[in-house]
Amino acid sequence: MAAKNHTEMWEGLGLNLQAHEGLLQVLGKAYSDIYLSQKNRPAGTAYLDFVMSEIHGLRIEELLEQKKQGQKIIGTFCLYVPEEIILAADGVSVGLCAGAECATELVEQVLPRNTCALIKSFVGFKLAGVCPYVEACDLVIGETTCDGKTKAYEVFSEYKPMFVLEIPHMKKESDGQLWRSEVGRLANKLEELSGKKITAQSLKRGVEIVNGKREALHRLNRLRAADPAPISGLDCLLINQIQFYDDPVRFTQKVNELCDELESRVAQKKGVAPAGAPRLLISGCPMAAPNWKVPYLIEKNGAVIIGEESCVGERGTRNLVEIQGAETREEILDRIARRYLGIDCAVFTPNTERLDHVSEMARQYKADGVVHYEIQFCTPYTMEGNAVRRAMSGQGLPFLRIETDYSMEDAAQIETRVQAFLELLKK
């Protein structure tokens, strides 16, 4: 995919060059078939095309340059890891969740076959030696969210230095205290790794950067909900995926520029699909890059996705860290901890906030139907699927559950179900 030759850099990172080349070819083809074939895209999406064309090239060059300047590269797998604290330690945060099948045979030698595709994918990318982000990391932060991830990190720690955060599964006062102490432990670890003090001032700067990024995404969420939709759900998903790789300040600026363009498209009623096209909300498991299968099958059949209740979507970005009145390092860490414990991941029990949030998004964005996206073998989200169905039927909203993995084997079957669902919405 990359225009410049980065072979030397990839070799220096220890990538398996042949397997990596194969991956880039598959990715480049998928991107061209799914993204570049879209009609009426806003001009600002050229930035997304550029980032994707250099996702293993120029961005890695930047990271390696930052490393040379003494900054630490920190890999993460979950929204529970506060980027604000990484930035406050002068680090760079990169998301390592992966959305493509990779080295399945090798993975199944170290993980059970019936592990979710997301976990198999990140382990596969490491075992196959095809991810320059993993190789560039100085430290990888895991978390005790679902059992699959928790145990997979034990395996992963055989290959990379890891630090695992304990995430409570309830939200009682004692859970809040445990979580706050974990946030403090993370700050101490990052100070030790970077040799840089985390101060109230550096935390404030981290909060300002990450809040700015989330505010830009809130603006995008409001604009994309117009009818006709000024931008596709596929492009919005990609923006949400890129936020985990791109420099946060540049990303915020680019999203805001795109939003300026979307404002004028909304005013001119210029859409990517005709006004009145079926509007679907997606809810469920995160779709890490390059997992585009289900949104592609939905939008290619004439519907528009007007929101994602997902960690690669609004679940991850909706709340800001409120630091008004917090002055000291510890007070700001309190606020950060509070904000993150508010994330309504399905690993929590009870988790009624998530049902409220899906309902609120469906109402606010005037969804015609909801698609619940479940990665096969993901117990938390698959279990919650019934509760989401009940909540949606209480609102009179048609609901479709799709349980799948990262392969394309079931694409035709999913497409048929999507088409039948869209027919139902017309009635």
Residue closer to ligand BJ8 by CB (options 304, 375) is 375
DSSP category for residue 43: G
Q: Does 107 bind ligand BJ8 (CB under 6 A)?
A: no
The H or E element containing residue 279 is strand 279-284
Cβ distance to ligand BJ8 smaller for residue 126 or 149: 149
Strands 92-95 and 139-143: unpaired
Q: Do residues 348 and 169 make contact, with C-beta atoms less than 8 angstroms apart? A: yes
Which parts of 261-290 interact with ligand BJ8 (CB under 6 A)?
285-286
Per CB under 6 A, the segment of 42-50, 170-178, 192-200, 376-384 that binds ligand BJ8 is 376-384
Stretch that binds ligand BJ8, among 47-55, 129-137, 265-273, 373-381 (CB under 6 A): 373-381
Strand order across the 92-95 sheet: 92-95, 73-76, 139-143, 162-165
Give bridge partners of residue 404 from the DSSP assignment.
375
Q: Would you say 305 or 343 has its CB closer to ligand BJ8? A: 343
Does residue 75 touch ligand BJ8 according to CB under 6 A? no
The stretch near ligand BJ8 (CB under 6 A) out of 40-48, 64-72, 75-83, 398-406 is: 75-83
Calculate Rg over the CA atoms of the chain.
21
| Residue 85 interacting with ligand BJ8 (CB under 6 A) | no
The enclosing H or E element of 374 equals strand 369-375
Would you state the structure tokens that stand for residue 383, as one six-digit string? 């279990």
Give the strands of the sheet with 399-404, arranged side by side.
304-309, 279-284, 369-375, 399-404
| 179 binds ligand BJ8, rule: CB under 6 A | no
- Kind and range of the H or E run holding 337: helix 329-341
381 near ligand BJ8, rule: CB under 6 A:
yes
Question: C-beta of 187: minimal distance to ligand BJ8 in Å?
Answer: 20
Task: Report the first-to-last Cα separation within the chain, whole angstroms.
Answer: 43
* DSSP state, residue 172: S
Is residue 96 part of the contact set for ligand BJ8 (CB under 6 A)? no
146 binds ligand BJ8 (CB under 6 A): yes
Among 23, 74, 92, 119, binds ligand BJ8 (CB under 6 A): 119
Applying CB under 6 A, the residues found at the interface with ligand BJ8 are 78-80, 116, 118-119, 145-146, 148-149, 285-286, 311, 343, 345, 347, 375, 378, 380-381
